[in-house]
Structure 1
């Protein structure tokens, strides 16, 4: 399985942890954006954007770790439009707070996982192993 992980710069350590766990299980990361520093000009933004777009489209599975910024949400849109399997992860159940959520978190192709990073790994391993990949919520706290 090839994967891409979207999130905010504030979640870089969580992204790296999930990446390591998935790579250790034999999966391939399409692009590791955590190696970048914040872009300082429009040319750098464009170059990073091209790499990230290609990586989202190449991935079999797309992860978005909340909280996430506007770029991650654009990547989420690309993943949904391309028919990718999406795992949305949050440590808190605020994805159900209608003042803060988005309709795209509740699409049938989005698996919502609430809990810890280890809970996410267990949930994904179960789903990938069973072939059941669509539209449920795991409340793991």
Structure 2
């Protein structure tokens, strides 16, 4: 397995954790907002709704952005856990632009042409792991 950056929504935290745990059980390393360790300046903004009213130039926001972007650059693969918000979709676009293999997990509410960036969309974490295992053979 390789290094995965997992993006999603705080509202979908349980599904994000399922993906993180399934990948880790299969031997992958993961980075996700639900388990990331942030310093004091950034940690308050890394909570649900913590950045909603913050100024984009706040030092904590800058640190949070820099840490997440560094982890995204370091990852081999990207997973978007659906449903997800705008920020996670922006991360997907960045990952695709960086040449990362992009995958998605969860229900697709409506067809989006730009979802073509995903090599595979699976219904759940188990389906993602099965797909990755089959691809390695």
User: Aligned residue pairs: how many?
Assistant: 120
**2:116 counterpart residue number:** 106
1:59 aligns with 2:71: no
Larger RCO, structure (CA 8 Å, separation 6 or more)? 2
- Which 4+ runs in 1 deviate beyond 4 A? none
C-alpha distance in 2 between matches for 1:32 and 1:64: 10
Task: Give the TM-score of the pair, scaled to structure 2.
Answer: 0.77
Q: Helix, strand or coil: the match of 2:4?
A: strand
Structure 1 unaligned spans of 5+: 131-141
Q: How far apart, CA to CA, are the structure 1 residues paired with 2:109 and 2:71?
A: 28
State the alpha-carbon separation in 2 of the partners of residues 25 and 121 from structure 1.
Answer: 7
Kept in 1, the 8 Å contact 2:22–2:126? The answer is no
Change (3 A) 1:105 1:117: same
Q: What is the distance in 2 between the residues matched to 1:19 and 1:114?
A: 15
With the length of structure 1 as denominator, give the TM-score of the two structures: 0.75
- Is residue 124 from structure 1 mapped to residue 132 from structure 2 by the alignment? yes
Structure 1 95/85 Cα, relative in aligned 2: closer, same or farther at 3 Å? farther
